Chains A and B, each alone.
Chain A
């Protein structure tokens, strides 16, 4: 067993990185959980039992180096080590860091504090001297707790604590240092909460799917005092940089009715973190965000309705052969050739090579002079007609069209159609109308 005791220094009271946790000890405890699962708080110190995880960190010296120098501790700390928790804690006192256990003063043993005067009168000031006294007499005179504490301190009793556990649901709040007037400025506070969230996710081996950011606003304004923002991801993520970007996009659209005073971050849905398969080959790992992250970020700023993906449809009318619908499934977008070739085979026919690559969202009416369509000057009809008669089963007027490939001196090849007239219209003497429907791009 090897114990490390950490104690925040008194001047480090406003802890820096893990701000917003209830106090500096829990902040320190959360941070220490990275190094070992056995972390406990005893009075004003945080105790770590590291014998089981030393190997993981590459030895005791390396772990000590990590704890004290490399990683960013949430507060300025004092540190001491020992074979039992109480020795480590006692050595936190100034000047005792390498004192052997029997030489430690009884003032450093919490259980002895009610009896210090009596013990001093007995000439007993060190742990070793107290241990030299007969056990039965000590138990009778000072009670069993002192004897138990002494046994524990000397490694003869069990060294057990209620270990520090992380909560099931992450919930942290932060009092803002100054009133925040605009929603995007809340991000600075939220960033600190996200740092904590990342730690929580790492330690609990979970990935977040949805979280809520709440803020309390100044009650003196006659407006709502609470506001909240629900953030949902398409796939569970551990990446707080991505979450931070998403949060920034969403906050940019919010206006605060009153200045915000405090922030709170809470997870709504988390999932156990799935391990992912790493590739053996270095080139298989391409740097950059995943497509999910891209879609989420684009959707947050542009609106999800602006991200479109093609869905082929079975219809003869060109405008209904495809539907551009909101992206629902990013995996389709990155799918490899084999699967898409299969999916694409549904709507495949040779004639489609004759369709234009651009379609106008709504057909554009063309000016007709001397019976010829103009766009902007006279169009030369190169090929056609290709006759279309469809949609008579629909409520809207059926499509009766003759499609032509036309050449314009300005725009290259165009796809135009002449609307065929049905019998009553023809009888009424209406002239056929021409429309531009596509561009051969």
Chain B
């Protein structure tokens, strides 16, 4: 008698992935530090030996708050440098350090030409003394990304490519593609009551995260992720009151603390 289809599939084990479940990542992963995000990522975290793409609209930045918990954990686990290839602004050490990052171990490569960025990224991936690479690649073609993906896979390094949001329609060899955007607008602050202001301020800073590609079924709904650390949120809430009432925010913060 022929075995039924589910039995056959069960016998094949991991070799067959059914498209309606979240794929287990073949390589190691690193928890992102956000439970809601881990729940939608295959392997429950960032892939440690692959290219992940983060797409952001121009002028909007959310890379640090999204990646910092994972990067901090990575730094604590093993020695090595964290390489930034062509970041758009100056990374502000004191702020990053306060969030737990060992800023002395950052290596900033100041490159602007697209070719040089790719080259430097690939070189960094090859190096044994490098923990992870964050590369800002405003202009890159799919075949160049494929090369980087292969390098990341071969050398077992996490590579995060930061690209503009226009690239979301292009094909990409990245195993994970996320589109980051500010959360949708709410009515202006002035019309709200005091209690609503607080809620609004915290909600307004949430990150709207579209999973464009992952090893698993597409995620139809964007994920609303509160990715701001508690202290800044608290300060913002107090500060909103202060701006409203015209008092001094720092005084209130010390009183509240």
Contacts and interface: CB of A to CB of B under 8 A. Distances in A.
A413 B81 CA distance: 28
Contacts of B98: 348-350, 352-353, 355
Listed residue (B81, B92, B130, B185) with the most chain A CB atoms within 10 angstroms of its CB: B92
B151 to A, nearest CB: 11
A413 B106 CA distance: 24
A12 interface: no
Interface string B121-135: 001101111100000
A306 B109 contact: yes
B155 A310 contact: no
B64 A357 contact: yes
Listed residue (A330, A341, A382, A440) with the most chain B CB atoms within 10 angstroms of its CB: A382
Contact of A332 (B105, B108, B116, B243): B105
A233 B1 CA distance: 71
A321 B97 CA distance: 12
Interface in A409-425: 409-413
B102 A340 contact: yes
A381 B242 CA distance: 10
Nearest to B99: A353
Contact of A441 (B61, B119, B120, B123): B61
Q: Chain A interface: which size bin?
A: 35 or more
Contacts of B62: 412, 441
A307 B89 contact: no
A52 interface: no
Nearest to B242: A383
Listed residue (B110, B229, B231) with the most chain A CB atoms within 10 angstroms of its CB: B110
A309 B228 CA distance: 26
A272 interface: no
Main secondary structure of the interface of A (DSSP, over half): mixed
Interface in A310-331: 310, 312, 318, 321-322, 324, 327, 330
B105 A291 contact: no
A291 B104 contact: no
B107 interface: yes
B115 to A, nearest CB: 11
Interface in B206-255: 228-229, 231-232, 235-236, 238-240, 242-243, 248-250
A301 B116 contact: yes
Contacts of A412: 60-62, 182, 205
B235 A354 contact: yes
A412 B89 CA distance: 15
Contacts of B94: 312, 318, 321-322, 347, 352, 355
B130 A294 contact: yes
A324 B238 CA distance: 33
B75 A337 contact: yes
Nearest to B239: A383
A335 interface: yes
Contacts of B108: 307-310, 324
A23 B108 CA distance: 49
7 contacts: A290-B129, A308-B107, A308-B109, A309-B106, A310-B108, A412-B62, A439-B89
Interface of B: 57, 59-65, 68, 75-76, 79-81, 87-99, 102-111, 116, 119-120, 123-124, 126-130, 155, 182, 185, 188-189, 201, 204-205, 228-229, 231-232, 235-236, 238-240, 242-243, 248-250
By Cβ-Cβ distance, the 7 closest A-B pairs, closest first, are A383-B239, A291-B129, A288-B128, A441-B61, A355-B95, A352-B98, A333-B81
